[in-house]
Amino acid sequence: MSVRVLVIAMAITILLSNYLLKFLVGPYLTAAAFTFPVVYLIIDCANRFYGKIKAYKVMLWGVALGIAGSFLVAIGDQIYGTQIISTRIAIASLVAFTVSQVLNVAIFDKLRDLTMWKTPVISSGMGSIIDTFIFFFIAFSALTFSLVPDGNDWALAPVTHLGIEMPTWAVMAAADLLVKFCMIVVLLPPYLGIVRLVYQAR
């Protein structure tokens, strides 16, 4: 599995995930929650096979191509059934992805000698927490609405869930994070399978 293949896979995953932000799966969850965790599988494979430096290169090229592609096809102009500013979504995606993946790569590199399954689970789990909070905060919180007003205050509407009242964006973030955790578990067998196949081929 070459670095070029990993970069292409990364770009496609980011592009697809940005597109799937448009589609709701339930009241507080988008379809992107099911595809974005594949990014962690790709980065972890790059880190395992080629080391930290090339993992960062895969991350940078992947996000550059993915974000560029998202702008080219005008993704982000309608999310959750309402018009919102594409630039803010793109910025949220870029900042969240970059920070979370830098953290993911660093943690994976530090823990690479642990049991094969523990390293990606811990690094991807920490990366997912950071990514989810940063993305939803920048994209939908009261602070960013005050800085870049667009008249859409639905994300700030309070929602009572399990006896706790939170703004809609925080509930969406919690649902998104839960799915990401589940997807980390689902993607663990494919990751382990890819690692075994690559090592056997060497």
Q: What is the per-residue pLDDT for 38? A: 92
Count CA within 13 A, CB hemisphere, residue 195: 21
- 188 is in which domain, residue-wise? 3-201
User: What is the pLDDT, as a whole number, of residue 80?
Assistant: 47
CATH number at residue 121: 1.10.1760
Tokens, residue 141: 């919180």
Which residue ranges in the chain fall short of pLDDT 70?
1, 66-67, 69-87, 142-164, 201-202
Under a CB-based contact definition with an 8 Å cutoff, are residues 176 and 168 in contact? no
- Give the distance from CA 127 to its chain's centroid: 8
Does pTM top 0.85 for this prediction?
no
pLDDT of 152 reads: 56
Give the Cα separation of 25 and 46 in Å (integer): 31
- pLDDT at position 81, please? 45
Number of domains in the chain: 1
Backbone angles phi, psi at 153, to 5 degrees: -105, 15
Q: Which segments within 33-106 are labelled E, that is strand? A: 78-79, 82-83
Closest CA to 131 of 104, 105, 166, 108: 104
Q: Is 118 exposed, middle or buried (0-12, 13-18, 19+ CB in 10 A)?
A: exposed
Does residue 95 contact residue 4 with C-beta atoms inside 8 Å? no
* CA distances, 147 to each of 23, 66, 92, 99 (Å): 26, 26, 14, 22
